């Protein structure tokens, strides 16, 4: 039995509607005023209640990690988030009680007035890509080929981490590049800062050729 | 173009069957909230459910119109 009251309401409405409709289909009563009122319930009001609450439940379901992880190519990402011993950025966010079970959505959703809409449109693109390109791909192959469509936006991190709190600014590295972080020229999720968020998906880095190389020249934290 | 007359009972049976299909899709999406069921419920389920309700509304409105016409005709006969 689902614990979510919205889902419970939707399923009860669906069950009641189904009972009325099945009764009508089996008995085929004459079309009196009373029969039509019963059908208004079974074909109209109760299914509308199911559809309304079902849409809300469906929308909420699309935000859960279980939903994201249900495509096989996302399984390693989902498993990493659920691993209590993992210290990746994604796994650490999944331990947050407020949004831990929705950590994929919390970090990958767009913000702003139309953020939800653009995120859902992006999700449809994911479905398209999965159906036509990644459905039959092995996990190893997918791990190499799947990549984020555009660089991760710092504004997503700054939705929670404003970069203005004293605890944030007390960290010297934060204070020295706070302008670059706010403008997005340095990514929070880059290696050397807090990333990568999904380290298992990155190829192992080759060893540095020598210590004399300019460290800033290949700093992965600085986006082009 | 005149549409063929379809009996109210036939239309309501179709409407009921479509309602069951729509309810099934919606219930499936809630029991198993993965991409395929959720997308089917939010697209096909909505279309099928709306079609079923539209058929019901059509039958009810057509019956009301027919009753009114019959009543009017009977009143004219009395006059």
pLDDT (tens digit per residue) in A4-13:
899 999 999 9
**Average pLDDT, integer, range A78-101:** 91
Beta bridge pairs of residue A191: A195
Task: Write the pLDDT tens digit of every residue in A105-155.
Answer: 989 888 777 778 888 888 888 888 888 888 899 888 888 888 888 888 898
Q: Does A61 lie at the interface with B, CB-CB under 8 angstroms?
A: yes
Provide the chain B residues 24-63 that lie in CB contact (below 8 A) with chain A.
Answer: 26-27, 29-31, 33-35, 38-39, 41-42, 45-46, 49, 52-53, 56-57, 60, 63
Summarize chain A as % helix, strand, coil (round to 5). 60, 0, 40
A1 confidence band (pLDDT: 50, 70, 90): low
Residue scoring higher pLDDT (A221 or A178)? A178
pLDDT at B59: 95
Are A106 and A156 contacting, i.e. CB atoms less than 8 angstroms apart? Answer: no
Q: Model ipTM?
A: 0.89
Instruction: Tell me the average pLDDT of chain A.
Output: 86
> Given phi > 0 = left and psi -120 to 50 = alpha, else beta, which region is A192?
left
Q: Does A165 lie at the interface with B, CB-CB under 8 angstroms?
A: no
Residues of B in contact with A8 (CB under 8 A): none
């Amino acid at each position: 039995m689902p614990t979510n009251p919205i889902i419970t309401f939707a399923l009860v409405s669906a069950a009641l509607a189904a009972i009325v409709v099945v009764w009508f289909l089996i008995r085929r009563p004459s079309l009196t005023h009373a029969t039509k009122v019963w059908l208004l319930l079974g074909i109209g009001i109760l299914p509308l209640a199911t559809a309304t609450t079902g849409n809300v439940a469906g929308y909420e379901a699309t935000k859960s990690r279980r939903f994201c992880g249900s495509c096989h190519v996302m399984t390693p990402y989902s498993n990493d988030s659920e691993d209590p011993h993992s210290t990746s950025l994604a796994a650490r966010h999944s331990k947050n009680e407020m949004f831990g079970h929705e950590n994929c959505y919390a970090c990958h959703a767009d913000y702003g007035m139309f953020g939800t809409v653009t995120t859902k449109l992006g999700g449809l693109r994911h479905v398209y890509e999965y159906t036509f390109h990644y459905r039959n791909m092995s996990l190893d192959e997918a791990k190499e080929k799947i990549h984020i469509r555009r660089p991760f936006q710092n504004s997503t991190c700054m939705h929670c981490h404003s970069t203005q709190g004293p605890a944030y600014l007390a960290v010297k590295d934060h204070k020295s590049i706070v302008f670059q972080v706010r403008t997005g020229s340095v990514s929070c999720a880059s290696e050397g800062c807090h990333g990568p968020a999904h380290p298992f998906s990155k190829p192992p880095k080759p060893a540095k050729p020598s210590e004399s190389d300019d460290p800033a020249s290949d700093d992965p934290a600085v986006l082009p | 173009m005149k549409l063929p007359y379809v009996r109210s009972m036939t239309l309501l049976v179709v409407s009921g069957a479509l309602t069951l299909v729509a309810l099934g899709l919606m219930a499936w999406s809630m029991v198993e909230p993965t991409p395929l069921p959720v997308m089917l419920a939010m697209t096909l389920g909505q279309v099928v459910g709306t079609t079923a309700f539209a058929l019901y509304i059509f039958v009810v409105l057509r019956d009301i119109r027919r009753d009114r016409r019959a009543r009017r005709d009977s009143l004219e006969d009395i006059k």
